[in-house]
Amino acid sequence: MRTSYSNMDDAAPPAPRPSPAINATACMRPRNQFIAAFCILVFASNGSFAAPVKTPHVEAEIIARDAAVQPGRPIEAALRLKIIDHWHTYWRNPGDSGLPTKLTWSLPVGITAGAIVWPYPKKLPLGPLMNFGYEGEALHLVTLQTASDLKPGQNLTLKARAEWLVCSDVCIPESADLAISLPVLASAPLRDARWEKVFSEAHAALPGTLKGWKTDASVANGKFSLTLTPPPGEVVAPGEFSFYPLREDIIANAGKQISSKTNDGFRLQIPLADSVNLTLKSLDGVLVSQHGWGKTQPGKAVEISAPITSSKAISKLSDLKSGATAGAQNGVQDGRELGLAIALIFAFAGGMILNLMPCVFPILGIKVMGFVQHAQGDPSRLKGQGLAFLGGVVVSFWALAGLLLALRAGGESIGWGFQLQSPAFVTLLAILFLLMALNLSGIFEFGMRLQSAVGTLQTHRKRGPMIEAFLSGVLATIIATPCTAPFLGAALGYTLAQPTSVSLLVFTAVAFGMATPVLILSIFPGWLRHLPKPGIWMDTFKQSMAFPLFATVAWLTWVLGSQQGNDGVGVLLFGMVVIALGAWLYGHWQIKKPIRALVAAISLLLAGLIIAWPGITPPRTDRGPVTSDAKEAWVPFSKQTVADFRGQGRTVFIDFTATWCITCQVNKRIALNDKAVLQKFTDMNIVRVKADWTIKDPAITDALAEFGRNGVPLYVLYPAEGAPQILPEILTPAIVLSALEKSRAPATQ
């Protein structure tokens, strides 16, 4: 027999005990039950089970329900964890924190192990968090299938590595290498009396099934509503019962679950998580009751998969696309209906207005600072910078348009701002703006030695400021893509049905519009004469410009959180800390020890990128706009949802939005969350539908295209009767209230 031992223990395993003088073959064909039982006891005394491994907080071992193995017959085994007082391990879904226990087997040829079968857990509150796990003694059941060619008289050794996280106020990962050696008998083995009680208790805690019950779930008011209907004639009094989800981030684990009796069954109200995947088809998990589930299921726990249905579904359907077409025919602003001349005018005007958007402000602030610095110099040099800025904007818009058109030609459903739907792009942009902000703050000076080496060349050829202006145009374009402006949505929507040359012409008009204010300042430098001459105040101005960039980093981090969750935000923040350390070391050493500075900066930049890269955490697909907050009582978008509510004669307001769309967030806070607007929505019983485009969603992209748009925001109001109305990209409470008032129709409720 092999005794198990932890790989954390340097001590040698204890020597096996000497075997009693007994011939194993004598037990191969026992003549009666007494002899069979005697043989089992002898083999058990011969060390059928290894000594448990003890860590500081847990005693771990592999145990088997039977004291021997019969060839071809399954083995019921378990990882047994005996946990010290006031500590716990975790269930398959650990809840708000923690990790489930893992078991990795190393088995002889012909032996296979199934997955862990988990008894139901208990709730483990920790401050504002709620975890699911085990205290005291926990059995993790596993069934192993044996080979039929095992030779009676031999010992079968099974090895496994167990890993668990044990927590109290702190959490400690622990592990152990475990093994069990069982004798092989030709006859059916007997139960091992030492473990029969714990196996029986573990089986009693395994979730059963609600045979004959009807279960379904719906989503409303920030909660799952789970209804349970027992079979006819079944008398059940489960008392209080609670739900443990199989998937993480579905429910608010620490939220209060309310169970109640209905006329024909039971209901459980389960609060949603802050962000939840509202495209779920079913609510899967374990229900644990206080008194059991009647005769059909004697245990306290049952596993359910309740289909999520709409409580207000109706049979009458309509087509969203036909509504959009009707709206276009009734004067709704549809970009596809614009002529080329109007589209170019709209594109130029929209590009100019982009300069007023908060997302473009940091870059323009830096550019204006450059103008101030050079305002007293050669006017031709200032004009050159303006043209270089224009070149950067135009080239960037061409590149963006080319990529967008190429992806569309390949069958992708994308639109304006599509790159910010990528967590990787958001991560890189956040890191870029962090470095720019640190540079403006004086943490380091980028390119000091390079500038010193080629200073004469720059003086004569004047290329340094030109490159800087060109790159400013590139950055301004990149950061402008989350924004939209009046006229811009319709102009870009016009490109949906146009050939490539026409689409590029429209994007060029947007670029010229965006670059025009900077170009005018460079051509007419006299407009800057009222600014003070360059001096010490320039350093203060430069450092102050770092704070809009830091704000942009915070915003991009928030955007990543909506895509990747808290884990994504965490790795990005830790990565940026490492990168900031590299920037500080670079600034500290860049003059006296330039080689050391460069090595440290590059090394920590790469390390920070590896830490922050979003591939480390799984992409978040559980976004959902429905929460318990009254002002966030939005229904997730689908064409079917809109059709259903319109079929009921309800007025529907659709908000096409994205977390990374700053214009959307400004409109939300200024107009859509205005008290008067919220009250009007309530008084008129208007259904609010949110089409969240934060992460790529072809259905939303297609819906935008049906309204002649390829970006957000877009606000569409379907009255109870008649064609839809498209609201402006920039909202005020007065605009929304006016549109709602116009949508009034004779009451149909």
Q: Find the mean pLDDT for residues 690-701.
A: 82
Residue 437 in this model has a pLDDT that exceeds 90 = no
| Residue 642's pLDDT band (cuts 50, 70, 90) | confident
Q: Are residues 348 and 382 in the same domain?
A: yes
Residue pLDDT, tens place only, 9-50: 333 344 333 333 334 434 444 444 444 444 444 444 444 456
Assess whether 610 and 487 both reside in one domain.
yes
| pLDDT score at 463 | 54
Q: Which residue has the tokens 């006329």?
A: 263
Q: Mean of the per-residue pLDDT values for the chain?
A: 76
Q: Residue 314: inside a domain, yes or no?
A: no
Whether residues 42 and 128 fall in one domain: yes
Examine the domain organization and report whether 495 and 396 are in the same domain. yes
- Reported as a single tens digit per residue, the pLDDT across 263-300 is 888 989 998 875 445 556 788 999 999 888 887 777 89
Residue 138: which domain range? Answer: 24-204
Coil, helix or strand for 128?
coil
Residue 623, in any domain of the structure? no
- Same domain flag for 641 and 679: yes
Give residue 353's pLDDT band: very low, low, confident or very high (50, 70, 90). Answer: confident
Domain closes at, from 172, 204, 236: 204
- 9 in any annotated domain: no
Q: What are phi and psi of 301, to 5 degrees?
A: -110, 140
Q: Structure tokens of 286?
A: 């374990």
Structural domain includes residue 220: yes
Same domain, 299 and 409: no
Q: Show the CA angle centred on residue 625, arms to residues 269 and 566, nearest 5°.
A: 90
Q: Residue 663's closest CA among 459, 398, 473, 483?
A: 483
- The verdict on 251 and 341 lying in the same domain is no
Residue 382 and residue 237 share a domain: no
244, 295, 284: which is closest to 120 by C-alpha? 244
Is residue 713 reached through a cis peptide bond, with omega within 30 degrees of 0 on the bond before it? yes
Q: Tell which residue, 473, 490, 506, has the closest CA to residue 348.
A: 506
User: Using one digit for the tens of pLDDT, what is the confidence trace for 478-527?
Assistant: 766 655 555 666 666 666 556 777 778 888 888 888 888 788 877 776 66
Is the residue at 708 inside a domain? Answer: yes
Is 622 inside a domain boundary? no
The DSSP annotation for 640-651 comes to HHHHHHHHTT--
DSSP symbols for 307-364: EB--TT--S----HHHHHHHHHHTT---GGG--HHHHHHHHHHHHHHHTTSTTTHHHH
- Residue 366's pLDDT is 61
Angle between helices 639-647 and 320-329 (to 10 degrees): 70
Query: What is the pLDDT, as a whole number, of residue 623?
Result: 45
What is the band of 363 on the pLDDT scale with cuts at 50, 70, 90?
A: low
Residue 529: pLDDT band (50, 70, 90) is low
Segment 89-114 shows an average pLDDT of 91
**Is residue 137 included in any domain, yes or no?**
yes
Q: Report d(CA 644, CA 638) in Å as an integer.
A: 10
The share of the chain scoring above pLDDT 90, in percent, equals 21
**566 and 439 both lie in a single domain:** yes
Higher pLDDT, 450 or 614: 614
163-165-168 Cα angle (round to 5): 155
Sign for the pseudo-dihedral over CA of 502, 503, 506, 507: negative
- Residue 621 within a domain: no
Question: CA distances (Å), 15 to each of 2, 11, 18, in order?
Answer: 9, 12, 9
Task: Give the confidence band of 139 by pLDDT, cuts at 50, 70, 90.
Answer: very high
The segment with the largest mean pLDDT, out of 485-494, 541-550, 636-645, 659-668, is: 636-645
pLDDT value for 2: 35
Domain C-terminal end among 582, 616, 650: 616
